[in-house]
Amino acid sequence: MLRRATTRILSHRRHCSTAEALKVPAADDLFMVAWKRTMPNLDPPKTPLSFLQPRPSTASAASIPSKMTINLVSSRSSGLSNKQVDMVIVPATTGQMGILPGHVASISELKPGLLSIHEGNEVTKYFISSGFAFVHSNSVADIIAAEAVPIEQVDPSSVQKGLAEFTQKLSTASTDLEKAEAQIGLDVLSALNSSLSG
């Protein structure tokens, strides 16, 4: 029976013109008419639609700025503050994430990897050990990193030496804490090594 009623309603809508479809009253209006007819002396109850706020309009392409603002903060320094850039690529735990002006608001956890900041034809690269990226709906990105080092300041021979050291520590670790510390060091230095080579 429900299937037949649905079929009738849908087939009626197909045959209606757009002007006729616009004349169809909303569900709240139909409810209010039925309520007044059934119980004319009582005020009608509030329906869910009366509590909902209208959804804000989405940003149009004309309102999206051509540049975005980035703030890069690490535990040792404030790398960038209110810098206008074209794009940022962060090493999120779910994979590389590109952030452009007008990006949807989000929060992403960062893993050890390369942070690329694109400004015109220039690309500035930082190695970050971990952190979070907060992307705001007003084209502002706040990147909070435990450590952020410009990639050109990293000595490749020190990275190789550190990899050998942490590999040795991992193989000789006797407690869970020593193993965890060695594994974290190995993971960070492996990511740093691949950032240098790639």
Instruction: Say if residues 129 and 143 touch (Cβ distance below 8 Å).
Output: no
CA separation for the pair 166, 120 (Å, rounded): 39
Which pLDDT tens digit goes with each residue over 35-94?
888 888 888 777 666 677 666 665 555 677 889 999 998 877 767 788 899 999 999 999
Supply the pLDDT for residue 118: 93
Over residues 11-31, mean pLDDT: 55
Judge if 175 and 191 occupy the same domain: yes
User: What is the pLDDT of the chain when averaged over all its residues?
Assistant: 80
Residue type, 28: D
| N-terminal to C-terminal alpha carbon distance within the chain | 65
Judge if 163 and 148 occupy the same domain: no
Over residues 145-166, mean pLDDT: 86
Number of domains composing the chain? 2
Q: Are strands 68-74 and 140-145 parallel, antiparallel or unpaired?
A: parallel
What is the extent of the structural domain holding 131? Answer: 65-153
Of residues 155 and 79, the one with the higher pLDDT is 155
Could you tell me the pLDDT band of residue 190, with boundaries at 50, 70 and 90? confident
65's tokens: 């700025």
Supply the pLDDT for residue 21: 43
Judge if 148 and 191 occupy the same domain: no
Instruction: Say if residues 152 and 114 touch (Cβ distance below 8 Å).
Output: no
99: phi then psi, degrees, rounded to nearest 5: -120, 120
Judge if 162 and 136 occupy the same domain: no
Of residues 26 and 65, the one with the higher pLDDT is 65
DSSP string for residues in 59-84 = PPGGGS-SSEEEEEEESS-EEEEEEE
Instruction: Say if residues 72 and 143 touch (Cβ distance below 8 Å).
Output: yes
CA separation for the pair 100, 104 (Å, rounded): 9
Judge if 123 and 86 occupy the same domain: yes
Q: Give the DSSP H/E element, type plus range, for residue 33.
A: helix 27-38
Supply the pLDDT for residue 16: 47
CATH number for the domain spanning 115: value is: 2.60.15.10
Supply the pLDDT for residue 14: 47
pLDDT at 10 over 60: no
Could you tell me the pLDDT band of residue 98, with boundaries at 50, 70 and 90? very high
Over residues 99-126, mean pLDDT: 91
